[in-house]
Every structure is written in structure tokens, then in C-alpha cells.
């Protein structure tokens, strides 16, 4: 099953700036894909289009085999329920603890207290930071904050996890640990897309690879050799083993719950908690 499909997608910004030009790609359900390419190549633009933070200038975009190209602003939060995003600059709320950063997401989703606690502790242990749950974001190292940003992106159990440069400014060991964490999340069935300049990591984890330059996807033959081990070429994607997870039974845009938390995941201001929540 396809999770992300771009068909001839163009994104043009004002003043003729090309974000993407004629990008077609498919990432399968349960897949793990890297987006690579120099600064300004269009990696973040792809993520913003998946997240529907932007609309393409032309072309079509499908998520979980449903077209999202022209969804309305009111549908966007429903889409984002299914997509976790990890921003390079973390965007954690510095005035509350790690636990409360995570708890807030579930609070606005209307999840009961005991279940919130269970899920917060569960994602915190997935990223190895349960013991720091009462710390504030600025008391954590960059790598630890990165892990919390990942925990927050997966706490609502998304179909897709987008991680934009998740190892920027981290040392090689920490970067590898973060990648392993993303890989474990992928092994539980979440489709993971990672934008990165860290070609050392790309070489170590054989996953689907897309290389962009100036908004265009290069053909495989033109991928830089730096992405491979010496003498090696990558003809075929290596399929990593993934647990089967159940596909959504209804439309990913179905309006069945309060999706406001997803605005928050998207980096906007969190909405106020419901009046009965405190």
C-alpha cells in the first residue's frame, strides 16, 4: 500500500523561486525514506506539502491513497492527526516540563488522565528519557531535546513521521542513536521520512533514497557517490522488516474527534485546553 504519492508536483514561491519542479515519488506504507540534497534543494518543501502546510502550484499529492491536493483549511487538522512532524528547532514549550509538553497533546485530544500518563511514559521510554520526565526542555542536551521532539511527534500514533534534519548539530554517536530510535518507530509500522545532510548515516542505513537538486529529483544514476560506500551502487531499495500494522478503516480526513492538537504538532500555538480538563 502506498502511503505518500507525489505526481508531477511543482511548488513555486513568489518571485519565481522554485521550491519543487516536477517531483514524482512514492513511499510505501511502513517504508523508511531519506530526502537528501544540498541546502535549498526542496527537502523541507516536500515535508510541508505532505503536512499540508503548503499547497502545490500544480501536480497531485496523495496520502494513504487519498488525494489531499485540494483539501480545505478545515480538513487540514484531520489530516495532521495522522502525521507527526519533528522540526529541526524542536519547538518545545520551555515553560513546562517534558512530561507536560507531551501531556498537552493528549489533553487537547480529550484523552483521560490515566491513559495520558501511560502514553507519555510509554513514548518517553521509547526514546530512552523516562527518567527526565520532570525536567524542563532547556535542562536537556540538544540530542535529548531532539528525542523529546520525536516523542511528541509519535505520541498520537501517526501513520507518518516526518523528521526534518533530526541529527543537525549532534555528534556522530548521538546521531546514530537518534536514527536507531526512528528505525524502531518505523519497525512498529509508522512510515518514516527523514531529511538529512548527514550522508554518513545514509550510508549506514540502507533505506529508500531521494536526492534533490534545485527542486528536482535526480535520476538514480546521477546520485552523488558520497551517498554510497566505495564502489557500491544502490539499484534497489533494501526493504527493512516492518511489523504489520492495521491500515486506517476510514478516510484519513474523517471528522470523528477533536483534532486541535495537531495544529500544535504543526508548530502553531497550542489551543487552550478544554474547560473541564484541569
Contact 59, 8 (CB under 8 A): yes
* Nearest one of 201, 145, 136, 203 to 173, comparing CA atoms: 201
DSSP character at residue 257: S
Is residue 196 a contact residue for Mg ion (CB under 5 A)? no
Give the residue with the Cβ less far from ligand ATP, 36 or 140: 36
CB atoms within 10 A of CB 29: 19
Rounded distance between C-alpha atoms, residue 153 and residue 157, angstroms: 8
* Nearest one of 138, 96, 140, 95 to 120, comparing CA atoms: 96
Stretch that binds Mg ion, among 39-47, 103-111, 151-159, 257-265 (CB under 5 A): 39-47
Stretch that binds Mg ion, among 27-35, 40-48, 127-135, 229-237 (CB under 5 A): 40-48
What mask of x and - would describe binding to ligand ATP in positions 40 to 79, judged by CB under 6 A?
xxxxxx----------------------------------
The minimum distance between CB 21 and ligand ATP, in angstroms, equals 10
Rounded distance between C-alpha atoms, residue 85 and residue 155, angstroms: 11
Give the residue with the Cβ less far from ligand ATP, 127 or 212: 212
Give the residue with the Cβ less far from ligand ATP, 23 or 185: 23
Interstrand relation of 208-213 and 216-217 (parallel, antiparallel or unpaired):
antiparallel
Is residue 44 a contact residue for Mg ion (CB under 5 A)? yes
* Nearest one of 9, 13, 18, 46 to 211, comparing CA atoms: 46
The minimum distance between CB 232 and ligand ATP, in angstroms, equals 25
The minimum distance between CB 206 and ligand ATP, in angstroms, equals 22
* Nearest one of 155, 182, 130 to 265, comparing CA atoms: 155
- CB under 8 Å to 81, separation ≥6 — which residues? 156, 158, 252, 257, 259, 261, 262
Rounded distance between C-alpha atoms, residue 96 and residue 139, angstroms: 11
The minimum distance between CB 44 and Mg ion, in angstroms, equals 3
The minimum distance between CB 48 and ligand ATP, in angstroms, equals 7
In which residue are the cell numbers 513555486 written? 12
Give the residue with the Cβ less far from ligand ATP, 226 or 254: 226
Task: Provide the 3-class DSSP secondary structure of residue 32.
Answer: strand
Is residue 265 a contact residue for ligand ATP (CB under 6 A)? no
Q: With CB under 6 A, what is the number of residues at the site for ligand ATP?
A: 11
Rounded distance between C-alpha atoms, residue 23 and residue 11, angstroms: 9
The minimum distance between CB 61 and Mg ion, in angstroms, equals 18
Give the residue with the Cβ less far from Mg ion, 43 or 119: 43
Stretch that binds Mg ion, among 38-46, 64-72, 149-157, 267-275 (CB under 5 A): 38-46
Considering only residues 13 to 42 of the shown chain, the ones binding ligand ATP according to CB under 6 A are 13, 17, 19, 37, 39-42
Binding site for ligand ATP (CB under 6 A): 13, 17, 19, 37, 39-45
Binding site for Mg ion (CB under 5 A): 43-44
Amino acid at each position: 500500500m502506498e502511503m505518500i504519492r507525489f505526481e508531477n508536483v511543482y511548488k513555486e514561491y513568489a518571485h519565481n523561486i522554485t521550491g519543487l519542479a516536477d517531483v514524482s515519488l512514492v513511499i510505501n506504507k511502513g517504508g523508511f525514506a531519506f530526502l537528501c540534497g544540498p541546502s535549498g534543494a526542496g527537502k523541507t518543501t516536500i515535508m510541508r506539502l505532505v503536512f499540508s502546510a503548503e499547497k502545490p502550484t500544480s501536480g497531485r499529492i496523495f496520502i494513504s491513497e487519498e488525494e489531499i491536493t485540494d483539501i480545505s483549511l478545515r480538513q487540514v487538522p484531520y489530516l495532521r492527526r495522522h502525521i507527526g512532524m519533528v522540526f529541526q528547532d524542536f519547538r518545545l514549550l520551555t515553560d513546562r516540563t517534558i512530561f507536560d509538553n507531551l501531556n498537552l497533546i493528549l489533553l487537547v485530544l480529550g484523552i483521560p488522565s490515566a491513559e495520558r500518563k501511560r502514553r507519555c511514559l510509554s513514548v518517553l521510554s521509547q526514546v530512552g528519557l523516562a527518567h527526565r520526565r520532570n525536567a524542563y526542555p532547556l535542562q536537556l542536551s540538544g540530542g535529548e531535546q531532539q528525542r523529546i521532539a520525536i516523542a511528541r511527534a509519535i505520541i498520537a500514533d501517526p501513520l507518518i513521521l516526518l523528521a526534518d534534519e533530526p541529527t543537525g548539530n549532534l555528534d556522530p554517536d548521538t546521531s546514530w542513536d537518534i536514527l536507531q530510535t526512528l528505525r524502531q518507530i518505523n519497525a512498529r509500522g509508522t512510515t518514516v521520512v527523514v531529511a538529512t545532510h548527514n550522508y554518513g548515516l545514509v550510508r549506514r542505513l540502507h533505506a529508500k533514497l531521494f536526492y534533490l537538486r534545485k527542486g528536482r529529483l535526480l535520476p538514480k544514476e546521477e546520485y552523488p557517490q558520497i551517498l554510497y560506500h566505495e564502489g557500491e551502487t544502490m539499484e534497489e531499495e533494501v526493504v527493512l522488516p516492518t511489523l504489520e500494522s492495521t491500515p486506517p478503516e476510514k478516510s484519513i480526513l474523517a471528522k470523528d474527534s477533536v483534532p486541535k492538537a495537531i495544529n500544535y504538532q504543526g508548530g502553531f500555538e497550542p489551543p487552550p485546553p478544554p474547560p473541564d480538563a484541569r
